[in-house]
Structure 1
Amino acid sequence: MRRIYFLAPDIKTTHKIVDELRREGIEDRHIHILAKRDTPLEDLPEASVLQKTDFLPALERGIVLGGSAGLLAGLAGLSYAGFVIAGGPILGIIIAGATIGSLMGGLAGMNSGNSRLHQFEAAIENGELLVLIDIPLDRIGEITEKIGKHHPTAEFEGIEPILPLKY
């Protein structure tokens, strides 16, 4: 799956784009709309916390950093213990560190906006709507062409290389 981005000039155009995507068989769970705060989206699928924030990248960083810190803590404990401890306690410390790190990283990521979407902030504040569409790689050309042909005021803004999760 890939995520493609379109900027639509207004809510009316966005409704038409979403209706066309639905006719093409794209489910609402693969369509995400970002708009200026307090914009009534009516029946449009609003972007969730996962799209609006850096939750997943921060979660991944937290796991790595927490696991590394747990490993260092386990090794430091070994040096002070003066004898060799079986792998179980060290593994437990690594897992505990990764768990705590992922929780802290995820919470920190929820408090910051999605870094991939910063380039669209000015357009969204000016009333445009950002349409994010998750589609299979082999349909990108087809969908992009249809939206461009039927909605010339919508601007194609690019493709996100790879989605982190399949949802």
Structure 2
Amino acid sequence: MKCIYYLTSTLDSTGHITDDLHDAGIGDWFIHVLSKDETGLSKKKIHSSNYLEKLDLLRFGIIGAIVGFLVGLFAANLLKTTQPFGPDVPNIVYYAIVGVITSFGAWEGGLTGIASENKKVALFHDDIAAGRYLILIYAHKEKEAIVKSVMQSKHPEANLVAEDSYFYNPLSTLKRV
């Protein structure tokens, strides 16, 4: 599935875009809008974005888990090598140490991610702060051409600003078009 990013200036335009995409067979769950005007989106019954799109929870959670895993491996290896509790410690204890420290790293990374704007959406921070609407359209490969056709023919006021890969990878970067 590909995510196609469009920017538009007005709430009315955003509403017409979502209506036209619905008419073209794109479901409401595949259209998300980021805006500082959440009330306007709610009044027009436009599907707003979710926390995973707004915040960097996944990216920092994954990074925290990786760091935690490496620290856990180091700690378990250090304890196994130095044997401060004697030579009779079962291996499950070392696995548990790695698991607990990995989980702690993922948790700490998630907390950092909750406090951070999504790296991909941060490219459009100034546009959103200026009152523009960022429309994220998730399209299967066979619907991609339909989305682009509807947007080109009916909504020239909306600017195609980015496209994300078919596989959602929170560690990848997004480039503006």
Q: TM-score, normalised by structure 1?
A: 0.90
Q: Deviations over 1:14-57 (max 9, x none)?
A: 00111122222322222111112555212111111100011111
Higher deviation after alignment, 136-145 or 46-55:
136-145
Aligned equivalents of 2:169 and 2:122: distance in 1? 19
Q: TM-score, normalised by structure 2?
A: 0.85
Deviation at 1:141, TM superposition (A): 2.4
Gaps (5+ residues) in structure 2?
171-177
Deviations 1:100-153 (A, max 9, x none): 111110110010001112221222122210000111123222211211210110
1:11-90 to 2 correspondences below 5 Å = 11-37=11-37, 39-41=39-41, 42=43, 43-81=45-83, 83=87, 85-90=89-94
Kindly, what percent of the aligned residue pairs are identical? 27
1:103 matched to 2:104? The reply is: no
Give SS of 1:115's match. Answer: coil
- 2:24–2:146: 8 Å Cα contact kept in structure 1? no
How many residues were matched structurally? Answer: 165
Residues 38 and 48 in structure 2, CA contact (< 8 A), matched pair in contact too: no
Q: Provide structure 1 residue ranges, at least 5 long, that are not aligned to the other structure.
A: none
Given that residues 8 and 157 in structure 2 are in contact (C-alpha distance below 8 angstroms), is that contact kept between their aligned partners in structure 1?
yes
Pick aligned residue for 2:140 from 118, 128, 136: 136
CA separation in 2, counterparts of 1:84 and 1:25? 64
Q: Which position in structure 1 is the counterpart of 2:97?
A: 93
Q: Tell me how far apart the structure 2 counterparts of residues 84 and 145 of structure 1 sit (CA, whole Å).
A: 68
